[in-house]
Amino acid sequence: MTILAELRNTEAKRSKSAHKLADYILRDPEAVLSMSIATLAGEVGVSEPTVNRFCTGLGLKGFPDFKLNLAGALARNQGNITRNIEPYDSTSHVVAKIFESTHAALSDTQNQIDNTAIEQAVEKCATARSIVLCGLGASSSVALDAQHKLLRFNIPVIAHTDLINQRMTAAGLGPNDVLICISYTGRTQAMIEVAQLGRETQATVVGITASGSPLAHYCDLVLAVRANEDTELYTPMTSRIAQLVIVDVLATCLALKQGPEFARHLGKLKQSLTMTRKDK
Amino acid sequence: MTILAELRNTEAKRSKSAHKLADYILRDPEAVLSMSIATLAGEVGVSEPTVNRFCTGLGLKGFPDFKLNLAGALARNQGNITRNIEPYDSTSHVVAKIFESTHAALSDTQNQIDNTAIEQAVEKCATARSIVLCGLGASSSVALDAQHKLLRFNIPVIAHTDLINQRMTAAGLGPNDVLICISYTGRTQAMIEVAQLGRETQATVVGITASGSPLAHYCDLVLAVRANEDTELYTPMTSRIAQLVIVDVLATCLALKQGPEFARHLGKLKQSLTMTRKDK
DNA sequence: TGAAAAATGTAGTATAATTACATTATAGCT
DNA sequence: AGCTATAATGTAATTATACTACATTTTTCA
């Protein structure tokens, strides 16, 4: 538990001056970071040793240790502010910004995730006759990744990254099949048509795409990925990371649904891979 | 930008003792938090004022302020305590845990990123006759993703996900080619052999893999991805996310290196994709 | 109400951080 | 290469900061 939560905890039995201290600190924790024990004591109207006792009472070594903890707690709260990459950025700047924006994309996706849609998709996949994954361009590697993950299950799964193959397969599906269409923008005409074809066969069409997009419109279930407009020149494609994490969620939920018997199956599977590895 | 990234930044022109300090602090930042300026100075083998100047040189008020910043930076990372997924977890729990562990994997990777290695890799890629990407299993989709990103440059790039094709291509490389081998564990025997083949042709072998792994040993440059042992049954493969972000960094740095002329090229490229999209 | 316990404060001490100045190393120039 | 100017580092003194021991006040409960 963070120190801020500790301070907020009113249940803790505290002395009068301890209360005054907690109140004051919570009012502006940032400011406390640049105060000495003397100034804080003066501001609150207590003596220095009282402040010290307050800190040790919290299980910390002393006032400096308290400030360290407070700094940590505050750091956790402030979010990731994404900044654009500029042409003159150094390598370390680029690294920092890319990681920042990836973190931000993840948080965004998590915030708008629809648990019900995921549960329904898992339900459909678990009982599906076959699962077909479709992706074009950047999304094709996501489709292949999903294929790799879903291969572990005993359900026939295939990823198509070729438009012709996608159309052929989509047109030949049936009511018990699941078609998963992956597109960042949800505006790729070709992928929309694939979804339409799938729809006509009564297969369940799942979209891993931007909510509200044209593609989403033709899907039975939408696993939403936030779409930030890719206007900046050097913006990394954080969206596919988000798509992959959605795939992770789908695959993991599916694995859990299979129950304990499946856990043994997974074990055997891992076993079969060990012999391709160098022991070191 | 976090203070840790600042310390990692090798570009910053630093004095000898400043380097010693940065190195020491990065080795165990947690420990520094409980040190006085005197003990840190003693450990590193410099004088107290040198430590102080180091702190102020970083744009901070002094040593205590430095510790405060460090505590904040560390908190951001350790904030992500990865919890394992349990069979009885609900969908929302699974979602939360997967996002958490992905955040954690990103932070870990960022922490051990080597700017110099990236710069060297970018340099090699920028002047390469051709770039060959190799990945097997889960890493094959990463290779394809990298191919997609690097396709935007005017350098011949190809991803191979087939072992035979990988070996054939690797054996036929030359001194001006770059071979990028992608493997999470760095222990896949087949991939190690591909790296060896590439090495023999004097091509530059770049590994996106676990540092210290057998594969890393055969690489000229290693872009490290943290390898957590995949012992748990339902652990999501967060490593490939980290690999993808490394690819992002590589591609973005490469783009920046190409200069303003290339920006126009990128613009035309984006233009060519718009006609595949529905206006909405 | 009065004694014991808890809380707070005062003053002194120890520790830690900073500043001013001296010394040494480094880089640039003739 | 040798000299000078500049930067980097160290020593020692100073100042700020935190902590400890002890005294005083307040609170609690019989």
Per residue in B202-253, pLDDT tens?
999 999 998 889 999 999 999 988 766 554 555 557 788 999 999 999 998 8
Chain B contact probe: residue of A248, A268, A269, A273 with most B CBs at under 10 A: A248
The pLDDT tens digits of the residues spanning B102-122 come to 888 888 888 788 888 999 999
Chain A contact probe: residue of B91, B106, B149 with most A CBs at under 10 A: B91
Find the Å distance, CA of residue B55 to C1' of nucleotide C11: 34
State which nucleotides on strand D lie below 7 Å from a protein beta carbon.
7-12, 16-21, 27
Contact A184, A225 (CB under 8 A): yes
Contact B218, B205 (CB under 8 A): yes
Q: Which of residues 18-47 of A touch strand D (CB under 7 A)?
A: 36-38
Q: First and final CA of chain A: distance in angstroms?
A: 40
B16 Cβ within 7 A of any nucleic strand C atom: yes
Confidence at residue B234, expressed as pLDDT on a 0 to 100 scale = 56
B49 Cβ within 7 A of any nucleic strand D atom: yes
pTM over 0.75: no
- Chain B residues lying within 8 Å of A214, measured CB to CB: 278, 280
Of B65, B107, B248, the CB nearest to A236: B248
Question: Are the beta carbons of A92 and B115 separated by less than 8 Å?
Answer: yes
- Chain B residues lying within 8 Å of A241, measured CB to CB: 241, 244-245
What confidence tier does B194 reach under pLDDT thresholds 50, 70, 90? very high
**Does residue A125 have a pLDDT over 90?**
yes
Contact A231, A205 (CB under 8 A): no
A150 Cβ within 7 A of any nucleic strand C atom: no
What confidence tier does A270 reach under pLDDT thresholds 50, 70, 90? low
Confidence at residue B220, expressed as pLDDT on a 0 to 100 scale = 95
* Integer Cα distance of A136 and A170 in angstroms: 14
Chain A contact probe: residue of B189, B277, B279 with most A CBs at under 10 A: B277
Question: Are the beta carbons of A94 and B249 separated by less than 8 Å?
Answer: yes
What confidence tier does A84 reach under pLDDT thresholds 50, 70, 90? confident
Find the Å distance, CA of residue B49 to C1' of nucleotide C11: 31
Alpha carbon of B92: minimum distance to chain A alpha carbons (Å): 6
Q: How far is CA A103 from CA B104, B142, B278, in A?
A: 10, 19, 29
Find the Å distance, CA of residue B13 to C1' of nucleotide C28: 18
Extract the runs of DSSP E, i.e. beta strands, from A167-203. 178-182
Q: Among candidates B166, B162, B198, which has minimal Cα distance to B179?
A: B198
B100 Cβ within 7 A of any nucleic strand C atom: no
Q: Which of residues 20-59 of A touch strand C (CB under 7 A)?
A: 45-50, 53
Alpha carbon of B180: minimum distance to chain A alpha carbons (Å): 17
Q: Among candidates B124, B126, B127, B109, which has minimal Cα distance to B209?
A: B109
CA B42 remoteness from chain centre: 33
- Chain A residues lying within 8 Å of B69, measured CB to CB: 71
* Integer Cα distance of A147 and A151 in angstroms: 6
Alpha carbon of B146: minimum distance to chain A alpha carbons (Å): 9
- Chain A residues lying within 8 Å of B100, measured CB to CB: none
Indicate the Cα dihedral angle B217, B221, B226, B229, nearest 10°.
Answer: -20
* Integer Cα distance of B147 and B134 in angstroms: 10
Mean pLDDT (chain B) is 85
Q: Which of B118-127, B154-163, B264-273 has the lowest mean pLDDT?
A: B264-273
State which nucleotides on strand C lie below 7 Å from a protein beta carbon.
6-11, 15-20, 26
B114 Cβ within 7 A of any nucleic strand D atom: no
What burial letters (b/e) apply to B118-156, b meaning 16+ CB within 10 Å? bbbbbebbeebebbbbbbbbbbbbbbbbbbbbbbbbebe
Contact B247, B149 (CB under 8 A): yes
What confidence tier does B10 reach under pLDDT thresholds 50, 70, 90? low
Q: Among candidates A170, A177, A127, A143, which has minimal Cα distance to A246?
A: A143
The pLDDT tens digits of the residues spanning A45-63 come to 888 899 999 988 888 888 9
A252 Cβ within 7 A of any nucleic strand C atom: no
Half-sphere exposure at residue A243, Cβ-oriented, CA atoms within 13 angstroms: 32
* Integer Cα distance of B261 and B264 in angstroms: 6
User: How many Cβ pairs closer than 8 A exist between chain A and B?
Assistant: 216
B16 Cβ within 7 A of any nucleic strand D atom: yes
A17 Cβ within 7 A of any nucleic strand C atom: yes
What burial letters (b/e) apply to A249-268, b meaning 16+ CB within 10 Å? bbbbbbbbbbeeebeeeeee
A65 Cβ within 7 A of any nucleic strand D atom: yes
Mean pLDDT (chain A) is 84
Higher pLDDT, B57 or A160: A160
**Does residue A266 have a pLDDT over 80?**
no
- Chain B residues lying within 8 Å of A106, measured CB to CB: 99, 102-103, 106
